[in-house]
Amino acid sequence: MTYGRTVEEPAVVERARGLLGRAFSAHGVTVVITEVEAYGGIDDPASHAFTRTPRSEIMYGPPWRLYVYRSYGLHHCANIVTGPTDRAAAVLLRAGRVVAGHALAEQRRGDVGPARLARGPGNLAAALGITLEDRGADVRTGAVRLGPPVGPPPISSGPRVGVSRAADLPWRFWVTGDPTVSAYRRSPRASSGTSGT
DNA sequence: CTGTTGATCCCG
DNA sequence: GGGATCAACAGT
């Protein structure tokens, strides 16, 4: 594991932690964010911004904008661009607890239990009704909106889910013990690392 | 609980 | 052709 070379912890990691516990609203549903992953941008081989392309261009723009991509052809995943601008870093929203618009979220997700309504990045985006059309939204002022900062909840960390490169970085953060946190295993292509609790 | 697989599409 | 995924299914 380890960081190989000496790498200072980037700002996006602190931003990721700071998003936990905050409200996030879109299309009639509000969640409290319970699980996130930091993506470091230009230096992070797991980040979509590692190679600068039209898809990842939004990550090179101003912070607090929404980066949405389609995953495996079926799902949408929502990120918040964090800046600084020249780093193209962003935080993937992986899970949340629905606190408003419960009926609408159920309508979109089906009759799963409350803990699973917005568990997993694809499910979170689905519950919130987020699609590619929401790309570029400013989450401080738009219809897709982030709530005010809150006092940080207890936080656990571990390797990022589903990434095959830089899989040893413990850049996944979640609210300790929260039942809405996704319980997925890491990428089969990931070779090393630990798991959190 | 664990592991496997198919669905499906924007992007490089 | 691949992937920052999910749900369904089978086996332990």
The pLDDT tens digits for A136-194 are: 999 999 999 999 999 999 999 998 988 878 888 999 999 999 999 976 555 555 544 44
- DSSP-derived letter for residue A10 is P
The pLDDT of residue A111: 87
- DSSP-derived letter for residue A189 is T
Q: Is the CB of A5 under 7 A from strand B?
A: no
Instruction: Give the residue with minimal CA–C1' separation from B11.
Output: A55
Contact A129, A27 (CB under 8 A): yes
- d(CA A182, C1' C8) / Å: 18
The pLDDT tens digits for A43-87 are: 999 999 998 999 999 999 999 999 999 999 999 999 999 988 889
Beta strand A90-100 pairing with A29-39: antiparallel
Q: Is the CB of A185 under 7 A from strand B?
A: yes
Q: Is the CB of A70 under 7 A from strand B?
A: yes
* CA dist list (Å): A76 to A2, A7, A129: 31, 31, 9
List the CATH code of the domain at A11-175.
3.10.300.10
Residue A103's beta-bridge partner residues? none
- d(CA A27, C1' C1) / Å: 34
Domain ranges for chain A: 11-175
The pLDDT of residue A162: 84
The pLDDT tens digits for A5-32 are: 445 788 999 999 999 999 999 999 999 9
Q: What is the DSSP string of A112-178?
A: --GGGTTBSHHHHHHHHT--GGGTT-BTTTSSSEE----PPPPEEEEPPSS--SSTT---EEEETT-
* CA dist list (Å): A161 to A5, A37, A108: 23, 8, 24
The pLDDT of residue A3: 47
